[in-house]
C-alpha cells in the first residue's frame, strides 16, 4: 500500500514535470543534460525521480530549493540545506542493522517543508500537505 502510494506520487510528479516542460515552442528536455554540480548524490542518480520525491516529501515546488531554471546554481540556500538533509538521512539509515534505507525525506517531512516536532494540539486542524498520505 505504502509502496503503491509512493510510486503513484512519483508518477504524478513526472507527469507534472512533463506538463511543465511543454512551454512555448516544442518539448523541453528534462533533466537539462547531465548534472554538473552534484556534491552529495552519487553519479548515476536518477535525478528526475529523486527530485520528484523531494518535491512530494516537502510539499513544495522545484523553486523552493532551486533558482528557477538554473538547477546547477547553489544561490538558493535551501538547496544546501537539502544537501545536509540527504547526509542526515544517510547517517540515520547507516545505523539500521539490516542495511536497508528505512528513513526518507517523507519520514520526517510528511508533505511539509518544516516538520512538526510536536503532535497537533487536541482539536487543532492540521493543514494537509501536498504529499501527505491518507489517514495522517
Interface residues with ligand HEC (CB under 6 A) are: 17, 31, 35-41, 47, 51-52, 54-55, 58, 60, 62, 64-66, 71-72, 78-79, 81-83, 85-86, 88-89, 103, 105, 107-109, 113-115
The verdict on whether omega for the bond into residue 49 sits within 30 degrees of 0, i.e. cis, is no
Between 48 and 128, CB nearer to ligand HEC:
48
Minimum CB–partner distance for residue 5 and ligand HEC (Å) = 17
For cell 546547477, the residue is 72
For the chain, the maximum distance between any two Cα atoms, rounded to a whole number of angstroms, is 52
Inter-residue contact 55 to 9 (CB < 8 Å): no
Cβ neighbours of residue 63 closer than 8 Å, sequence gap 6 or more: 76
Nearer to ligand HEC, 34 or 99 (CB): 34
Nearer to ligand HEC, 32 or 128 (CB): 32
Min dist CB 136 to ligand HEC, Å, is 16
CA distance 65 to 56: 13
Q: What is the smallest separation between the CB atom of 22 and ligand HEC, expressed in angstroms?
A: 14
Amino acid at each position: 500500500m505504502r509502496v503503491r502510494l509512493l510510486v503513484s506520487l512519483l508518477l504524478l510528479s513526472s507527469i507534472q514535470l512533463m506538463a511543465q516542460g511543454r512551454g512555448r515552442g516544442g518539448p523541453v528536455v528534462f533533466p537539462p543534460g547531465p548534472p554538473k554540480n552534484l556534491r552529495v548524490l552519487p553519479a548515476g542518480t536518477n535525478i528526475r525521480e529523486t527530485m520528484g520525491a523531494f518535491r512530494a516529501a516537502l510539499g513544495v515546488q522545484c523553486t523552493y530549493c532551486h533558482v528557477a531554471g538554473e538547477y546547477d546554481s547553489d544561490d538558493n540556500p535551501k538547496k544546501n540545506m537539502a544537501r545536509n538533509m540527504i547526509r542526515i538521512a544517510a547517517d540515520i539509515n547507516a545505523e539500521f542493522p539490516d542495511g536497508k534505507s528505512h528513513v526518507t525525506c517523507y519520514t520526517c517531512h510528511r508533505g511539509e517543508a518544516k516538520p512538526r516536532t510536536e503532535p497537533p494540539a487536541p482539536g487543532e486542524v492540521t493543514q494537509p500537505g501536498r504529499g501527505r498520505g491518507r489517514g495522517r
